[in-house]
Amino acid sequence: MFAVQSFYSICLKINFKSTYLSIRLAESKAMKETKEQAYQELIYVHDTLLQLRQIAQNNRYPMLAYFIEMAWVEVSDVLRSQFGQSAKN
């Protein structure tokens, strides 16, 4: 982290503002892609847990269905708190 900050400082001191801005833009884009990937992965987990809960219920494993449902609730809460939206049920 220190090396990255030093590089930014050097870019600014030498007046490489365009280079500095390009780096910041690339970082911003990478962070956005990472956040989108995390969102898509959580949606996948959310949907898969619903399917697993149904399988457990169909096979008469109520305790297993309950624990899977609790995991589903947790994923729903994470989606709501971190991404400001809830997944489709």
Q: Tens of pLDDT along 40-49?
A: 999 999 999 9
Q: Cα angle vertex 47, ends 32, 51, to 5°?
A: 165
Q: For the chain, which residues make up each domain, given as ranges?
A: 2-83
Provide the residue-wise pLDDT of the chain in tens; the chain has 89 residues. Answer: 455 556 666 656 655 556 655 666 666 666 777 888 999 999 999 999 999 999 999 999 999 999 999 999 999 999 999 988 655 55
> What global pTM score does this model have?
0.62
Contact between residue 79 and residue 46 where contact means Cβ atoms under 8 Å apart: yes
